Amino acid sequence: MDKHTEMLTIISELRHYVELDGTEIGEAGSLMCQLASYSPYVSEKFLKALVKELHNYLDDFKENSKIVEVIETVEHKVKRLEWTNQ
């Protein structure tokens, strides 16, 4: 697998984690994923380092977190008018 294909595969999986992570780590991961779109304009050395860092981020998320699905119910107070004569 070439570096570009490897990078796209990693990014596809990594995005699932960084989109759910509300911390600076998730934001940094998201920015690194965005850097991938500039791969035609960067050196091979930079691209290799980026793929390595993306892989490290993905491994860290896989080892230290999990994606869980929950049902959230949100309640909020509203006012409405009710007619009392009907």
pTM: 0.76
In whole angstroms, what is the distance from residue 19 CA to residue 2 CA?
Answer: 26
Q: What is the largest CA-CA distance in the chain?
A: 78
- Contact 51/36 with Cβ under 8 angstroms? no
pLDDT digits (tens, 9 = 90+) for 46-61: 989 999 999 999 999 9
**Residue 53 near residue 14 (C-beta atoms within 8 A):** no
Quote the CA–CA distance of 56 and 31 in Å, as a whole number: 15
Identify the band that residue 39 occupies on the pLDDT scale cut at 50, 70 and 90.
Answer: confident
- The pLDDT assigned to 29 comes to 94
pLDDT tens digits, 60-80 = 999 999 999 999 899 999 988
Residue appearing with tokens 């004569």: 85
